[in-house]
Amino acid sequence: MVSQTIPVEVISEKSGGSAEVTLVPIHVMGRRYMVPSDLTIMKAMEYAGYQFTRGCGCRGGICGACGTVYRLPDSHRVEVALACQEIVKPDMFLSQLPFFPQNKAVYCIEELDVDEGTLAALYPEIFKCIGCGTCTRSCPQDIEVMDYMAAAIRGDIARVAELSFDCVMCGLCIARCPAEEAQPLVAILARRIYGSHIAPRAQHLQERVQQIDDGRFEDDLNELMKKDLVELKELYVGREKEPDMPDPNWRPTDSSYL
Ligand code: SF4
Ligand code: SF4
Ligand code: FES
């Protein structure tokens, strides 16, 4: 195959002030736009006139709503990105995948009988995985997706939960999977099972929840509910803060809530 390198057009121009802005071409769903070179894909699309009502959430790389695919002119690869995180590249051809369909199994997490067959019982299609690794190569979070799918097939729930911890549910692995898996749904089920059935209980958390159930903070909360916005802001700004660097010996001056 002969690869072709398309000359990249780069323009520098003065913005409204004195700063110089470098514009580069990008192609959104086949249409060409000149956008500032230092913008994320999401901001560049907004610069070009797109308005996000779907396919955009946190803008901080957390919610996974902005999965994007693109190609560069001198590469055969389909690249993936989160639009709110990736800076535009000259002459990228891109399209957003605002949502990828996936069928979620119905379960009540507290009532699940947990054993090594639980993931397979709810998502039997995991056995269709052919171990191609495309999901791992498609993940903008650099997660070993194929490995957690292999752990799911083995019934190793803790391993699935551990390997998939950084999953943002963007669905890009689903879009590329030849076995039509729904990897993030398997992964989030494993993390839920791990959190509710497997992870050791934190003693201090149980004690705090019990205090809340016993109504220990009820009076203080009721007092807070009576305050207006200005008073609440003053309380928040003036609150005693933990030190920036962890200090195991630190205690608040007022320890009555401990
Ligand atoms: S892309 Fe699909 S078939 Fe390939 S390893 Fe991942 S889950 Fe398995
Ligand atoms: S595992 Fe799949 S859904 Fe999760 S972040 Fe990676 S590509 Fe996105
Ligand atoms: S908008 Fe939430 S990850 Fe991009």
pLDDT tens for residues 160-196?
999 999 999 999 999 999 999 999 999 999 999 999 9
- What residue ranges define each of the domains in the chain, with the CATH number in brackets? 20-96 (3.10.20.30), 100-231 (1.10.1060)
The Cα-based distances of 183 to 115, 126, 173 in angstroms read: 19, 8, 7
Q: Which atom of ligand 1 is nearest to the CA of 131?
A: 5
Q: What does the alpha-carbon distance between residue 155 and residue 88 come to, in Å, rounded to a whole number? A: 40
d(CA 192, CA 115): 14
Closest to 243 (Cα-Cα) out of 234, 232, 235, 252: 252
Q: Which atom of ligand 2 sits closest to the CA of residue 164?
A: 1
Nearest atom (ligand 2) to Cα of 138:
7
Strand partners, 59: none
Mean pLDDT, residues 235-244 taken together: 92
Q: What is the mean pLDDT of the chain?
A: 91
- pLDDT confidence of residue 5: 41
Query: What φ, ψ does residue 70 adopt, rounded to 5°?
Result: -155, 160
- Nearest ligand (C-alpha, residue 147): 1
66 lines ligand 2 (CB under 6 A): no
**DSSP at 227:** S
Q: What is the pLDDT of residue 98?
A: 72
Q: pLDDT band at 12, cuts 50/70/90? A: low
Within 6 A (CB) of ligand 1 lie 129-135, 145-146, 149, 177-179, 181, 183
Predicted pLDDT of residue 257: 81
pTM for this structure? 0.79
Q: Is ligand 2 within 6 A of the CB of residue 90?
A: no
Mean pLDDT (whole number) for 98-102: 82
Using pLDDT thresholds of 50, 70 and 90, give the confidence band for residue 17. low
